[in-house]
Amino acid sequence: MEIKLVKSRQFVIKPTAPYNFDATLFKPSHYPDPLKVYEPGKYWFAMRFEDKIFGVKLVNCGSIDDPKVNLKLFYKERLSSQKLKSLLDELKFRCEFDVDLSEFYDKFANDRVLSPFLRRWRGMHESHTLDLYGLLMICIFLQNTVIRRTVQMTRAMLEKYGTLVKFDGREVFVFWTPEQLAKVSEEELRKLKVGYRAKLFIKSSRSWIAERINEFELRKLQTNEARKRLLRIYGVGPETARILLTEGLGKYDIFDHVAPWQQKILSRLLFNKPLVPASKIIEYANKRWDKWVALAVHYIWEDIFWRHARGEKIEWLDKEIRL
């Protein structure tokens, strides 16, 4: 399915300073997918909100200390003033336009480990322009495989079940709904060469419906309570729950699991060693950065991937990425 969005409205957003547009919206640690288009200072993506699909174009018109974002919204049907307000509020949440990081910077300005990264990436927030269900789908694609296979599977399923959204001269996909995928047979999914994930995609979608997951309600819960709800979804384990909490719900106070490939990278970044026990990494980070632990680790993590994206040769990282 594809749709073309030609109607548009434009707004100027003034995020809470400091706000680093590129480092917040584009994450070089994320695998390449057809869900967004990024150019320095510009970002396009599509989103499903209240059963409608919208195109979003964000353009950086300010600076880190005086941020300003030109937001252009593309749509198909007329928008009521209330619908428009809700949509803009949702975009502010996903892009963290109104999140104040001043306490974070004040607290760790002189932290021996973190301060160099704070200076380099000042104003960087987590990125969660996907809705929570879409992020769950990403987590399933990433399981137990190399990035190259993840890229292939993502495109194959989006072309079959997603919606291609055309606006502003760009084309991006938006994910299917859980209701759509819940009706698909495992045999049909396996034809797209997603392997054992076929059952996982279907059962997770059905579980999402059965558990009546509402991400707006989850945002209001304390981290531990939200985590308990997420773990009730079929196929969601500690690592997926952590990603959904930090990237999807904007919770910065959780860092309780490290996947094996992340363990190798964080061992080098935090301890300059090939491999450190995951428990030691988790204990060290939580003790040092407390309620800001997820954001602190995010700064250190994204730094190495930005260096890689800008052409720096890091052989040990290349072996782990395997794109």
Cα separation, 244 vs 131, in Å, equals: 10
Owner of token pair 């992020």:
135
Length of the chain: 323
- The neighbouring-strand residues paired with 11 are 71
The phi and psi torsions of 283 (rounded to 5 degrees) equal -65, -45
Residue-level pLDDT at 102: 96
Question: Taking CA 223 as the corner, what is the angle to CA 289 and CA 123, rounded to the nearest 5 degrees?
Answer: 50
CB 242 within 8 A of CB 256: yes
CB 245 within 8 A of CB 230: yes
Which superfamily does CATH assign the domain made up of 132-248 to?
A: Hypothetical protein; domain 2 (1.10.340.30)
Give pLDDT tens digits along the chain (323 positions): 899 999 999 999 999 999 999 999 999 999 999 999 999 999 999 999 988 999 999 999 999 999 999 999 999 988 899 999 999 999 999 999 999 999 999 999 999 999 999 999 999 999 789 999 999 999 999 988 888 899 999 999 999 999 999 999 999 999 999 999 999 999 999 999 999 999 999 999 999 999 999 999 999 999 999 999 999 999 999 999 999 999 999 999 999 999 998 999 999 999 999 999 999 999 999 999 999 999 999 999 999 999 998 988 888 887 777 54
Residue-level pLDDT at 127: 79
Residue-level pLDDT at 323: 47
What is the full DSSP assignment across 121-134?
A: TTT------S-HHH
What token pair was written down for 102?
């001043």
Task: Report domain extents, the chain.
Answer: 2-92, 132-248, 260-321
What token pair was written down for 105?
């910077």
* Fold that domain 2-92 belongs to in CATH: TATA-Binding Protein (3.30.310)
0.85 exceeded by pTM: yes
Q: How many helical (H) and strand (E) elements, i.e. helices and strands, does the chain have?
A: 16, 8
